[in-house]
Chain A
Amino acid sequence: MKKVIILGATSAIAQATVRLLAARGASLYLVGRNAENLEAVARDAATRGAPKVEFRALDLNDCDAHASLVERAWQALGGLDGAVLAHGVLGDQDASQRSWAAAEVVLRTNFLSAASLLTELANRFEAQKAGTLVVISSVAGDRGRQSNYVYGASKGALTVFLQGLRNRLAKSGVAVVTVKPGFVDTPMTAHVPKNKLFATPEQVAKGLLRAADGRKNEVYVPGFWALIMLIIRSIPEPVFKRMKL
């Protein structure tokens, strides 16, 4: 990945990824909502060695703007060979249960906007028969739980969408990499008491790039989450539905 668009570039995991890419000499097109913060990330990347860094402030829930966004990034970097989708919201499960409006924001941000962006990017990558699409999903998408099933559903839908896309693009040589982090110590989880299961954004960024380099399909980061989720997925539904999860 030498010419990469980063969606949700102000996310903690995205910033750590941007640093690693900058150190490798990749050119970057950064997209996020807050222009001031985006500029801070862009300057950091440029100072750390990215030969070219541009940024654009945009609410990614505005799906109508996606085609022109990708076109602009394409022009700015002279083509793209990589994309990292990192934007997302955790939402508040209680609020999502009480009001559909709250739930819809979570589904729109984590699934619909990602699906729209991926449609745009996949078609271009398919045409050039090259490129890597790296998308941050979540372990939460592996099984619905009462404590965060709206977020989980948005990520589960994303994971399934990516499986289909991977299947479609395999013959074109385009890699579709699904990254499923467990708990990560970022502003998204600032309110959650931390324990040993928490990874740093830097660890996740390293795992993410390792997966991208290896053109992996689905990875858990850190890897031990594969085991945890295997156990969680294998609990029979009649038992699972009675558990406090």
Chain B
Amino acid sequence: MSPSDSWGRFPRVEQRTRSLVWRSDALPKVDGPVLPHGLGRSYGDSCLNAGGTLLLTPGLDRLIDFDAATGVVRCEAGVSLDTLLRLCVPRGWFLPVTPGTKFVTVGGAIANDVHGKNHHRAGTFGRHVRRFELLRSDGSRRMCAPDENPDWFGATIGGLGLTGLITWAEVQLAPIRNPFVMQETVPFDNLDGFLRVSAESEADHDFTMSWVDCLARGKKLGRGLFYRGNFAPSQFERLPLAKSHLSHGTGLAVPMDLPGFCLNRLSVSAFNFLYYHRQRGRPSRQLVHYDPFFYPLDSVYGWNRIYGSRGFLQFQCVVPHATARDALKELLERSARGGLPSFLSVLKTFGDLPSPGWMSFPRPGFTLALDFANRGEKTWRLVEELDRVTREAGGAVYPAKDARMSPESFAAYFPQRDRFAAYIDPAFSSSFWRRVNPVSLPMPSLEGRGDSAVPPASLLALR
């Protein structure tokens, strides 16, 4: 991927890059702000640094230790979840939490405090991080753990890469007995149907997630398919763990940008219609390898290119239980109306397990993820509207997937923002951070910090 954009390929910015090589090295001295950059699987601008320098971490990809008895793995921050799976699955361990792609780094998973299909059971990735080292631009190195520098631990988990560079981390994995998931698919007719199946499923299933037909309207609004599953029961234990890695280097690839007409209203409708009716209205059970279960999109490498060169905008929000029904209804209605509908729409419950991260996005309620091909102004306005609906419902929008939220929204979604700002490394910044903290907003903690903070005026100039 070219380093000038993120996974959504929107926006595009001018920035420099420096590859990091050794975890013991000092941070490179450069002009302007720096920002760590893992595998660039964030959408929007949270992993971009217009006018500054990205510190590319994929060279920090060494394993340090793995204890197959306890499932504790220690590795450099640029190690990908894919590498960890190859290491740990054959020995009976799995990621405690995984996002919908395995091509993210451990550092990126911490900085966005990522969540997976088991949020209602396991919480966020940050809950399973035992400790990590944080390298700051002043050369200091801090060990961060729940009982050691807990404030730095809390600021850095979900800290958007702004508190310094995570050089290595130690993660507690989860035991598995085989690499297969018993998956059940349950169709639901509308939003109430989703809420019902969801409530029924959470107690007995580690993993849940729903696909929503974003074109269905009226009484069918919010219809879709509910996926729930657990790692396969003990009668499947004899299935070989050792040969358990499936989809690597194989499968499809999208080699170039598809022209815009490939993705029009008609093709989105057809996809959603076929997808829903494939199920023929009946629940079904099936034993599947973990790879297609957790990472259906990874088998089409570079799938983001189906949106063409203008890229796309993701939108993911969470709304609290109290307002969920009305808010989800409005969000779905608006996105179905808004011109070009969302290609993939995902709905899931967030549980109430708290994260150690101050700026962590997940919170109790329902989370909805949508993606829209970038058609300029019109798409941006739609996403801004969805942002407003979310804020009015008392919810929050996920920075890792955002390109449009307003400074006011950001302040409302992340009440610990000021406390967090005091822990930002003065040499670090991102396009996202500058966008949601324009100079006109008071940033009280900047003054109180007493170190060589970059004055906000120059931050804005770099935008």
Contact = CB atoms under 8 A, between A and B. Distances in A.
Interface string A1-34: 0000000000010000000000000000000000
A188 B449 CA distance: 40
B63 A47 contact: yes
Contact of B64 (A12, A37, A43, A190): A43
A43 B65 contact: yes
Given A47-B87, A48-B87, A37 B63 contact: no
Interface in A187-201: 187, 190
Contacts of B24: 36-37, 40
Interface in B319-333: none
Contacts of A190: 19
A47 B64 contact: yes
A41 interface: yes
A48 B61 CA distance: 12
Contacts of A142: none
B64 A44 contact: yes
A205 to B, nearest CB: 14
Nearest to B75: A47
A53 B173 CA distance: 25
B77 to A, nearest CB: 13
Given A36-B24, A37-B24, A48-B87, A43 B62 contact: yes
Contacts of B205: none
Interface in B53-112: 62-66, 76, 87
A187 B66 CA distance: 28
A41 B23 CA distance: 11
Interface residues of A, number: 11
Contacts of A47: 63-66, 87
With most chain A CB atoms within 10 A of its CB, the pick from B23, B63, B64, B76 is B63
A192 to B, nearest CB: 13
Contacts of B64: 40, 43-44, 47
B46 to A, nearest CB: 26
B98 to A, nearest CB: 20
A12 B20 CA distance: 12
Contact of B21 (A36, A43, A48, A187): A187
Nearest to A186: B21
Contacts of B62: 40-41, 43-44
Contacts of A41: 62
B271 interface: no
A187 B63 CA distance: 20
Interface string A41-77: 1011001100000000000000000000000000000
A43 B87 CA distance: 14
Contacts, number: 28
B236 interface: no
Interface in B9-62: 19, 21-24, 62
B63 A43 contact: yes
Contacts of B21: 12, 187
A41 B76 CA distance: 11
A212 to B, nearest CB: 22
A48 B63 contact: yes
Interface string B258-289: 00000000000000000000000000000000
Contacts of A12: 21
A43 B75 CA distance: 10
A40 B19 contact: no
B66 A40 contact: no
Contacts of B19: 190
Most A CB within 10 A of own CB, among B21, B23, B66, B87:
B21
Nearest to B76: A40
The listed residue with most B CB atoms (<10 A of its CB), out of A12, A37, A41, is: A37
Contacts of A48: 63, 87
Interface string A116-152: 0000000000000000000000000000000000000
Nearest to A48: B63
A92 to B, nearest CB: 20
Interface in B195-213: none
Nearest to B73: A47
B29 to A, nearest CB: 15
A222 to B, nearest CB: 17
A187 B87 CA distance: 27
Interface string A169-200: 00000000000000000010010000000000
B23 A40 contact: yes
B65 A40 contact: no
Contacts of A40: 22-24, 62, 64, 76
A206 to B, nearest CB: 12
Interface string B400-439: 0000000000000000000000000000000000000000
Residue among A40, A48, A187 having the largest count of chain B Cβ atoms under 10 Å: A40
Contacts of A44: 62-64
Contacts of A43: 62-65
A112 B21 CA distance: 28
A199 to B, nearest CB: 16
Contacts of B87: 47-48
A48 B65 CA distance: 9
A41 B22 CA distance: 10
Given A43-B65, A44-B63, 13 more contacts: A40-B22, A40-B24, A40-B62, A40-B76, A43-B62, A43-B63, A44-B62, A47-B64, A47-B65, A47-B87, A48-B63, A48-B87, A190-B19
8 contacts: A12-B21, A36-B24, A40-B23, A40-B24, A43-B63, A44-B64, A48-B87, A190-B19
Interface of B: 19, 21-24, 62-66, 76, 87
Interface of A: 12, 36-37, 40-41, 43-44, 47-48, 187, 190
When A and B form their complex, which 6 residue pairs have the shortest distance between CB atoms, in order from nearest? A47-B63, A44-B62, A36-B24, A44-B63, A47-B66, A43-B64
